[in-house]
Amino acid sequence: MDLRDRLLVQVSVRDVYDAVTLAGHPGSGLVFTGQAGHDAVRMARRSGYDGPLLADRRRYAGSARVRGTARLSADWIADQVEAGATAPLTDSGYIGKGDHESLHATLEQAVQWDSVIAVLPVHPRWVAEDRPVLLRTIADYGTPVALVVEDGPPYRPLPLPLLSAGVPALAALAHGAEWAAIGVREVLRHLYPEPHEIRGGWRRGGARSAFVPERLEFVPVERLSDGTCDCSTCRGRPLRRLASAEEIEVNTHNAKVLHRLHNRLLRSTHRERWWRELTA
Ligand SMILES: [Zn+2]
């Protein structure tokens, strides 16, 4: 199966039962996150889900994250293939600022496997000042990659697949990336620097945010304004009502409005220009 032009939804393993609701439409697919990701892939396949499925182990995130020089697991690759993943992702560690050793270690290991996607979780300087080196190194190894960009200043979109992103996933697709994944909740839309402070608004289950197409951003449900939404979940009701809705309803709204935006992107004759005008 092809990942081309897909806007995937990155979810937790516990979201497996909501998978079809969140990624049932054409052009979509799922990324299950965490070390049981392959089990969720298997479950989704068994339940008849036929879209693209990936598993991101995410060893690169959190306070116990591993460095990019860590040995990649062959078992993790095999588990994904056996579970029915569309393409296996490496269980890469984090590639810090100027950490060329980690970048090379990850790519060097990844090229030994056939049709494996090398996950490159990078410090934001890699997509800014060090961008030419990053692009050249990736081209030299010639293996497919997926970037995870740690939180930092806005950067010029790259034509490379993205995991665990927010709106930059759409920007990447508009700039020639083969596919990209938008996280279903805040923690899956970011790679936080470590150690990081948890800012206000966090609560059990994670802060819920609704995507507001006019603003092109995710807004915490408590701060939604008066606008209405005509997606098939909201049906013309005010967005603000999502503040008291279940998380699945907020996420279903998100999936629908993002799907619509994604469709517009795919239909545009010049994607980069379309994106530029949209964000102007
Ligand atoms: Zn809606």
Residues 6 or more apart in contact with residue 120 via CB below 8 angstroms: 92, 95, 103, 106, 107, 138, 145, 146, 147, 148
Q: How confident is the model at residue 1 (pLDDT cuts 50, 70, 90)?
A: low
If you measure from the C-alpha of residue 26 to the centroid of ligand 1, how many angstroms do you get, rounded to a whole number? 18
Q: How confident is the model at residue 46 (pLDDT cuts 50, 70, 90)?
A: very high
Question: pLDDT tens digits for 160-194?
Answer: 999 999 999 999 999 999 999 999 999 999 999 98
Question: pLDDT tens digits for 108-160?
Answer: 999 999 889 999 999 999 999 999 999 999 999 999 999 999 999 999 999 99
Pairing state between β 6-12 and 217-220: unpaired
CATH architecture of 1-195: Alpha-Beta Barrel (3.20)
Task: Provide the pLDDT for residue 197.
Answer: 66
pTM: 0.95
What distance in Å separates the CA atoms of residue 206 and residue 187, rounded to the nearest whole number?
8
If you measure from the C-alpha of residue 166 to the centroid of ligand 1, how many angstroms do you get, rounded to a whole number? 17
Q: How confident is the model at residue 196 (pLDDT cuts 50, 70, 90)?
A: confident
- At 210, list the tokens: 């609704």
pLDDT, mean of residues 98-111 = 98
Task: Provide the pLDDT for residue 202.
Answer: 45
What distance in Å separates the CA atoms of residue 108 and residue 280, rounded to the nearest whole number?
40
If you measure from the C-alpha of residue 262 to the centroid of ligand 1, how many angstroms do you get, rounded to a whole number? 15
pLDDT, mean of residues 228-248 = 95
Q: Say if CB 192 and CB 61 are below 8 A apart.
A: yes
Please state which of the ranges 100-104, 224-228, 254-258 shows the lowest mean pLDDT: 224-228
Question: pLDDT tens digits for 58-74?
Answer: 999 999 999 999 999 99
List residues, by chain if needed, whose CB lies under 5 Å from ion ligand 1.
Answer: 229, 231, 234, 253
- At 98, list the tokens: 């100027």
pLDDT, mean of residues 70-89 = 98
* Mean pLDDT over each residue of the chain, to the nearest integer: 94
If you measure from the C-alpha of residue 234 to the centroid of ligand 1, how many angstroms do you get, rounded to a whole number? 4
| Distance (Å) of CA 98 to CA 103, 127, 170, 192 | 9, 11, 27, 18
Kindly report, as residue ranges, where domains of CATH 3.20.20 are found in the chain. 1-195
Q: Say if CB 118 and CB 134 are below 8 A apart.
A: no
If you measure from the C-alpha of residue 226 to the centroid of ligand 1, how many angstroms do you get, rounded to a whole number? 13
If you measure from the C-alpha of residue 83 to the centroid of ligand 1, how many angstroms do you get, rounded to a whole number? 33
Task: Provide the pLDDT for residue 19.
Answer: 86
Residue type, 254: N
If you measure from the C-alpha of residue 201 to the centroid of ligand 1, how many angstroms do you get, rounded to a whole number? 22
Q: How confident is the model at residue 204 (pLDDT cuts 50, 70, 90)?
A: very low
If you measure from the C-alpha of residue 48 to the centroid of ligand 1, how many angstroms do you get, rounded to a whole number? 26
If you measure from the C-alpha of residue 255 to the centroid of ligand 1, how many angstroms do you get, rounded to a whole number? 9
If you measure from the C-alpha of residue 49 to the centroid of ligand 1, how many angstroms do you get, rounded to a whole number? 24
If you measure from the C-alpha of residue 7 to the centroid of ligand 1, how many angstroms do you get, rounded to a whole number? 18
If you measure from the C-alpha of residue 236 to the centroid of ligand 1, how many angstroms do you get, rounded to a whole number? 8
Task: Provide the pLDDT for residue 195.
Answer: 83
If we measure between CA atoms, which residue out of 188, 226, 228, 180 comes closest to residue 205?
188
pLDDT, mean of residues 75-93 = 98
If you measure from the C-alpha of residue 251 to the centroid of ligand 1, how many angstroms do you get, rounded to a whole number? 9
Q: Say if CB 210 and CB 242 are below 8 A apart.
A: yes
Q: Tokens 């080196």 map to which residue?
A: 133
Higher pLDDT pick, 86 / 280: 86
